[in-house]
């Protein structure tokens, strides 16, 4: 299984001004990868364990 983390920069800031914010994560399971042809749609779970 893979854990994919998602980060974004705050609006109206330059990347050099502040680090990106962690907004959530997704799990990629082997069973999901076997059924794909290279493209997946997975839910992003927020850091408070709610869907985004």
Does any domain span residue 52? no
Contact 26, 45 (CB under 8 A): yes
Calpha distance 8→25 (Å, rounded)? 12
Does any domain span residue 39? yes
Q: What is the pLDDT of residues 6-41, one digit of tens each?
A: 998 877 777 677 888 899 999 998 888 887 787 888
- Tally of domains in the chain: 1
pLDDT value for 15: 66
pLDDT value for 25: 94
Model confidence, pTM: 0.71
Domain residues for the domain of 32 are: 2-46
pLDDT value for 47: 83
Does any domain span residue 51? no
Phi-psi region of 12 (alpha: psi -120 to 50; beta: other; left: phi over 0): left
């Amino acid at each position: 299984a893979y854990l994919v983390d998602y980060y974004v920069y705050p609006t109206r800031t330059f990347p050099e001004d502040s680090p990106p914010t962690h907004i959530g994560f997704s799990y990629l399971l082997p069973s999901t990868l076997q059924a794909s042809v290279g493209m997946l749609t997975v839910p992003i779970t927020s850091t408070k364990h709610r869907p985004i």
